[in-house]
Structure 1
Amino acid sequence: MPSVFFSEDDMCTTQKLQIARVQDWFIVNGWDVADTAAAADMPICLTCNGWKLLTTNSFNRISQMQKQVSKDALVVFGCLNDAHPKKVAEVHSGKTISNANIDSQIDSLIPDAKIKFADVPHSSEFRTKEDYRVYDLTKQFVNIANGCTFNCSFCHHKPGLGDRRSRTIDDIVEQVKRLVKFNVRIVVLTGMETSFYGQEHGTNFAEMLKAVLAVDDSFEVHIAQFQPQGVHKMFDELGELLQSKRVTDFQLPIQTTSNRLLKMMKRADRTDKVGPFVEKIREKNTRIIIRTDLIVGWPTETMEELEDSLAFAVKYFDEIAVYEIELDPDLPAWKYQKDEYPVEERRRRVLYAKNYIERHGRMAHCGQQDDATMEEVELKRQEMRLSRGVA
């Protein structure tokens, strides 16, 4: 029996689900999963481009695995291939599989496969228990789309994930029905960005959410990575759906309320829609936890702009993640590098923001965290839901 090995990884939720599906594909085609790279017929090195540290870790992982296995046998998989193809080619001459083109590339790994990758159901679980921040199989994930619609000037993720590719509503509903049979308590609708879900199919997120909620009333829904542009497009229809007390978590990353900085970020300013939208949801849904993300220390950001963003965030959101900006020479925002604040000033602003948020009674955490930090955040989030009567 041939065997495959998957390295450790720093992947985001959407890509952990993707690689779990890849593993399932190998298994249904008769492959075993090896414990070590050296013992595998096909060792696969998993890569991530989420932050500079994760990019560095991924290149180091390639180097380490090349010492353990034949370069011809090694497969480099993931965002590094799309974000840094030339750099990957300099260190690896063997097979690569990209996230952005996985559907057209992955079957080449098992040319004689009886079951094609497209015929393997999407995974709702990660490959290993260690991949979870909090291991709880009553909470499972449904990846509704890969890639991203937008082209934010600072984003490390888009170059590695490519443009948005939405699944069909029928496909998503079938996955949710399978989860209901296993008494799943929470369904997380996720993706690198979810707000523009379905446009290529002539549908939208609101229509998909309505179909998911209609499957059964036994589970709650969490929504991740929903950009403010979606609020602008679906204000009334989506607002009414989120008034359902079965929707208990909603992530709406605003990054900043400064129109000037949003233009530099290549993001539309929908701040005027966000506040009324949150108020509309809370009119009937007192159970929901609404979260956002802020980028702090953007080049030329004034303290007034930062404080305006913080004041808005603590007014409308229960939890705020604070991210220190990372500029990269490969990204459009690098043109602002000459105005970049020193590391010490960026860190000072992150701490200032965190203290401001906590002083106003909201939950704060800083971005680029390790899993231990995020496990603590998730546990606090659960406590917050319990305090609102949310199991």
Structure 2
Amino acid sequence: MKVYFKTFGCRTNLFDTQVMMSSLRDFTLTQNEEDADIVVVNSCTVTNGADGSVRNYINRLNRSGKKIYLTGCGAFTKGEDLFKTKKVIGVFGHSEKTKINELLKKEHFFVLGDLESVDKAIVSEFVGKSRAFIKIQEGCDFRCSYCIIPYVRGNARSMDEELILEQIRLLAANGFGEFIFTGTNVGSYGKDSGSSLAKLLKRVSLIRGVRRVRVGSIEPVQIDEEFKEILDEPWMAKHLHIALQHTSDRMLEFMNRRNRVAEDLPLFEEIASHGYAIGTDFIVGHPGESEEIFKEAVENIKKFPLTHIHLFTYSKRDGTPAATMKEPVRGDVAKGRYKVIKEIIEEKNRDFRMKKLPLQVLIESKKGDYYFGHDQFFNPVFVQSELDLEGNWIELYDYEVKKEGNFAKF
């Protein structure tokens, strides 16, 4: 029987899907949903909207007669309902994913497992990918007001360091040169094992074949002196994603965040001084975000050396403190604020790219007439060439800066 995986949400889910793919023994993997007899839905539940997207997808699949199994974070929030209403024939949690070969031979089961397990699976190949996603930890100890994820992934816990290194050695031997560290709260790696993110990065850099390492979203309070010491290493991608979520201290208090603007701004300026592009997360429209607070945030964010942003309009997530907070922000107001922040960062990104720095690009795919990849600053690059560049590293000195990305001929 043919199995198709549909992955919603974050890079951690992408990694979990690869773990499940590598654990299949008695089934055939397909990249085409229409060919599949079985569909495994690796779900996201970060917002009510994410739940809705998963539900809509499953409802559409139900009309196809395929066998549907649900896993991922949504298994903990909507799994029981989808199972009872017979929308899916099986539900399993994160801790059960390596058992998928046996689980897909069964029907009508509901097994969530636990939120304390730590991955021990080794992934030696990434199907359909030119870059490798490496999950280094699971769970989160932060309790931000808007976030459900700690309740569906558990508290922070680190993967075994030797297994991480073994996995990277295997992937590097199989031709992967770029590695992206992912997890629920990447910066907490090592706090339970006597190690640290910086120590792990140093060890990874010694593995033959590792050309570039990107780090997933980290918190400002997790960037310590040890981490700063490796900023100039040539194997570090010149892009960091540091989660601010807002640039008003009052709003950060409402969000139950641990960072404050007075510490964040000098940190960002210091990292930018090492030639880094810096991205962040930012939420507009969170309950309590008055016009005064938003104006303060706008003035502050203009001061930050930002180049990228994951921008969100607040979406209610049942079961979180923010879901019951007063002073909600009207949808049209939130959309207007979204536009303001987006335009500020787009201008900052364009200014950064106009510096015309040499670009080291890993070509990931071909889209129409262009090869596509990301440079060391995590900006999209589109390249025209008569050569077959897919999967190759190239260096560019001459390129055109456009809104969609950097364009070049090679």
Mapping for residues 151-170 of structure 1, pairs under 5 Å = 151-170=143-162
3-state DSSP class of the match of 2:230? helix
- State yes or no: 1:349 paired with 2:349: no
Question: Offset of 1:191 from its aligned partner?
Answer: 1.7
Amino acid at match of 1:256: H
Q: Is the 8 A contact 2:120 2:160 kept in 1?
A: no
3-state DSSP class of the match of 1:237? helix
Distance 1:104 1:183 in 2: 24
Question: Offset of 1:118 from its aligned partner?
Answer: 6.8
RMSD of equivalent CA atoms: 3.7
- State yes or no: 1:259 paired with 2:249: yes
Question: Offset of 1:226 from its aligned partner?
Answer: 0.7
Change (3 A) 1:37 1:258: same
Q: How many residues in Structure 1 have an aligned counterpart in Structure 2? A: 355
- State yes or no: 1:324 paired with 2:319: no
Ranked by relative contact order (alpha carbons within 8 Å, sequence separation 6 or more), the top structure is 1
Q: Paired residue for 2:70, among 63, 68, 76?
A: 76
Corresponding residue for 1:368? Answer: none
- State yes or no: 1:56 paired with 2:52: yes
Distance 2:147 2:40 in 1: 26
Question: Offset of 1:255 from its aligned partner?
Answer: 0.6
Greater helix share, structure number: 1
Q: How far does the alpha carbon of each residue in 1:47-91 deviate from its partner, in whole angstroms, 9 at most, with x for none?
A: 222333331121223333344448xx6422222111234433442
Amino acid at match of 1:319: H
Change (3 A) 1:208 1:271: farther
Decide which moves more: 262-271 or 193-202: 262-271
Change (3 A) 1:61 1:89: same
Q: Is the 8 A contact 2:7 2:43 kept in 1?
A: yes
Distance 1:48 1:377 in 2: 26
Q: Is the 8 A contact 2:19 2:97 kept in 1?
A: no
Amino acid at match of 1:56: G
Distance 1:352 1:318 in 2: 15
Corresponding residue for 2:183? Answer: 191
Distance 1:176 1:333 in 2: 39
Corresponding residue for 1:280? Answer: 270
Mapping for residues 297-312 of structure 1, pairs under 5 Å = 297-312=285-300
Q: Is the 8 A contact 1:319 1:362 kept in 2?
A: no
Corresponding residue for 1:88? Answer: 82
Q: How far does the alpha carbon of each residue in 1:335-384 deviate from its partner, in whole angstroms, 9 at most, with x for none?
A: 12x411111100011111122334456589xxxxxxx9xx9996881459
Question: Offset of 1:324 from its aligned partner?
Answer: 0.9
Corresponding residue for 1:369? Answer: none
Q: Is the 8 A contact 1:292 1:313 kept in 2?
A: no
Corresponding residue for 1:340? Answer: 328
Query: Structure 1 regions of 5+ residues with no counterpart?
Result: 130-134, 365-371
Distance 1:351 1:197 in 2: 34
Corresponding residue for 1:225? Answer: 217
Question: Offset of 1:282 from its aligned partner?
Answer: 4.0
TM-score (norm. length: structure 2): 0.74
| Identity, % of aligned positions | 20
Distance 1:54 1:329 in 2: 12
Question: Offset of 1:110 from its aligned partner?
Answer: 6.6
Q: Is the 8 A contact 1:80 1:88 kept in 2?
A: no
Corresponding residue for 2:109? Answer: none
Question: Offset of 1:198 from its aligned partner?
Answer: 2.1
3-state DSSP class of the match of 1:195? helix
TM-score (norm. length: structure 1): 0.77
Question: Offset of 1:386 from its aligned partner?
Answer: 5.8
Query: Structure 2 regions of 5+ residues with no counterpart?
Result: 107-117, 353-366, 383-394, 400-405
Amino acid at match of 2:188: F
Change (3 A) 1:76 1:259: same
